[in-house]
């Protein structure tokens, strides 16, 4: 008789399933994205990101304390400045909101938490682009690199552990590494948004940081085209050569193939960003009672890890850590 394979035996009980589980998500895998808004006394709700807020300095400090006690090792901080201008001055101002927040968190928690800062200009520019514009309105790659170097130094002075350049300028990792080393911040690491797609899934994030791209524009001239996969491997190789310490793929669930291919080719730590739209879709469907939100969140984040990510940036960090602990 043809032997019938019996693969269900090990699925019979929860203990058997636990014993053979190949992928286990833990709070150690999670990085919590946090927004801090200049000039507010109380946290402000974000309609398209239920459960996520624009923090005040006080509420940010409290939130980070709770994340530490839940076992989450790291946070990535995004600033919402009061004033925006063409150069995104607030991004590199020593008194800019992210620098103030980083100093505060470092003073309060020491090395108990890894402090990461998103390194970009879009939250700080009045035109909403990730770089400086030429007179004709294009994003000027090399002029932007000089600004990124200034932002990196300001974040390093404020006590950041890791800077995370997200603007997709060519050469940004090398420019930032050079600037940090020159100012003797050799210990500050770089988590490179290495493969970052021009995605429709960033909408709620732009609400969170009050960003509107001028003239109804988009970022397709610097972020990647979702029809391409091999291009991501070139982007990642460039960042490895330029000195990235951690690689990142973004978004996550629609790019599991990219995560798997980067994992197969590289041995540096690999992060994936489960972005605002991915979170909002789960929240909205769960609020309608159409799916079990906790279950789908766990399924999606476990899939991201299964595909090869070591670290996941996710707005579910706190909720998932609560479920896991
Ligand atoms: C750029 C940046 C963006 C996100 C992270 N860093 C926005 C963009 O590229 O337009 C999006 C994150 C998310 O959607 O959760 N500073």
Sequence spans of domains, the chain: 5-245
Q: What percent of the chain has pLDDT over 70?
A: 100
Averaged pLDDT of the chain: 97
CA 181 to ligand 1 center in whole angstroms = 26
Active site residue 220: no
Which one of the listed residues 84, 220, 250, 305 is annotated catalytic? 250
CA 202 to ligand 1 center in whole angstroms = 6
The average pLDDT across 97-126 equals: 98
In 3-state terms the chain splits into helix, strand, coil percentages (rounded to 5) of: 45, 20, 40
Specify whether the CB–CB gap between 92 and 153 falls below 8 A: yes
- The reply to whether ligand 1 has any atom less than 6 angstroms from the CB of 35 is no
> Is 216 a residue whose pLDDT tops 90?
no
Please report the beta strands in the chain, taking only residues with DSSP state E, as ranges in sequence order: 30-37, 44-45, 53-55, 74-80, 114-119, 162-165, 189-196, 246-250, 270-274, 311-314
Query: What confidence score (pLDDT) does residue 104 get?
Result: 98
Q: What CATH class does 5-245 carry?
A: alpha beta
Residue corresponding to tokens 């008194």: 95
Active site residue 196: yes
Residue from 165, 203, 205, 226 to probe ligand 1 pocket by mutation (most atoms less than 8 Å from CB): 205
- The reply to whether ligand 1 has any atom less than 6 angstroms from the CB of 202 is yes
> Is 126 a residue whose pLDDT tops 80?
yes
Residue corresponding to tokens 């950041």: 160
Query: What confidence score (pLDDT) does residue 325 get?
Result: 82
Q: Distance (Å, rounded) from C-alpha 123 to C-alpha 116?
A: 16
- The reply to whether ligand 1 has any atom less than 6 angstroms from the CB of 276 is yes
Q: Counting atoms of ligand 1 from 1, which one is nearest the CA of 196?
A: 9
Phi, psi torsion values for 273, nearest 5 degrees = -105, 110
The average pLDDT across 7-33 equals: 98
The average pLDDT across 139-156 equals: 98
Query: What confidence score (pLDDT) does residue 119 get?
Result: 98
Query: What pLDDT band is residue 157 in, cutting at 50, 70 and 90?
Result: very high
- The reply to whether ligand 1 has any atom less than 6 angstroms from the CB of 224 is no
Closest Cα to atom 5 of ligand 1 = 166
Closest Cα to atom 6 of ligand 1 = 166
Top-confidence residue, 24 or 325? 24
> Is 16 a residue whose pLDDT tops 90?
yes
Q: What percent of the chain has pLDDT over 90?
A: 97
> Is 250 a residue whose pLDDT tops 80?
yes
Q: How confident is the model over 42-92, as pLDDT tens digits?
A: 999 999 999 999 999 999 999 999 999 999 999 999 999 999 999 999 999
Strands 44-45 and 114-119: unpaired
- The reply to whether ligand 1 has any atom less than 6 angstroms from the CB of 275 is yes
CA 4 to ligand 1 center in whole angstroms = 50
CA 198 to ligand 1 center in whole angstroms = 10
> Is 288 a residue whose pLDDT tops 80?
yes
Choose among 216, 218, 211, 161: nearest CA to 191. Answer: 161
CA 61 to ligand 1 center in whole angstroms = 22
Query: What confidence score (pLDDT) does residue 224 get?
Result: 98
Query: What confidence score (pLDDT) does residue 27 get?
Result: 98
Choose among 270, 281, 276, 277: nearest CA to 305. Answer: 270
Query: What confidence score (pLDDT) does residue 215 get?
Result: 85
> Is 18 a residue whose pLDDT tops 80?
yes
- The reply to whether ligand 1 has any atom less than 6 angstroms from the CB of 314 is no
> Is 155 a residue whose pLDDT tops 80?
yes
Q: Distance (Å, rounded) from C-alpha 171 to C-alpha 83?
A: 28
Specify whether the CB–CB gap between 87 and 147 falls below 8 A: yes
């Amino acid at each position: 008789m043809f032997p019938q394979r019996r693969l269900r035996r090990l699925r019979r009980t929860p203990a058997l399933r636990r014993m053979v589980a190949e992928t286990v998500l833990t709070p150690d895998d999670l990085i919590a994205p946090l927004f801090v808004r200049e000039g507010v006394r109380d946290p402000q709700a974000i309609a398209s990101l239920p459960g996520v807020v624009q923090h005040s300095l006080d509420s940010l400090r409290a939130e980070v304390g709770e994340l530490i006690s839940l076992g989450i090792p790291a946070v990535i901080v995004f600033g919402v400045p009061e004033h925006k201008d063409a150069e995104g001055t607030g991004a590199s101002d020593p008194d800019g909101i992210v620098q103030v927040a980083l100093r505060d968190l470092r003073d309060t928690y020491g090395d108990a938490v890894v402090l990461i800062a998103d390194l970009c200009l879009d939250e700080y520019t009045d035109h909403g682009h990730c770089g400086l514009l030429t007179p004709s309105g294009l994003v000027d790659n090399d002029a932007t690199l000089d600004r990124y170097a200034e932002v990196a130094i300001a974040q390093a002075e404020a006590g950041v552990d890791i800077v995370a350049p997200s603007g997709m300028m060519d050469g940004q990792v090398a420019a930032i590494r050079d600037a940090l080393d020159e100012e003797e911040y050799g210990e500050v690491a770089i988590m490179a948004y290495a493969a970052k797609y021009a995605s429709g899934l960033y909408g709620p994030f732009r609400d969170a940081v009050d960003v509107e791209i001028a003239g109804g524009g988009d970022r397709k001239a610097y972020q990647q085209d979702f029809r391409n996969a091999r291009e991501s491997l070139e982007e990642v190789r460039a960042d490895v050569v330029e000195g990235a310490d951690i690689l990142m793929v973004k978004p996550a669930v629609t790019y599991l193939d990219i995560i798997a291919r980067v994992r197969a080719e590289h041995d540096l730590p690999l992060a994936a960003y489960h972005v605002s739209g991915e979170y909002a879709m789960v929240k909205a469907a769960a609020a309608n009672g159409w799916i079990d939100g906790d279950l789908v969140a766990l399924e999606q984040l476990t899939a991201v890890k299964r595909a090869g990510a070591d670290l996941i940036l996710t707005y579910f960090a706190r909720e998932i850590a609560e479920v896991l602990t």
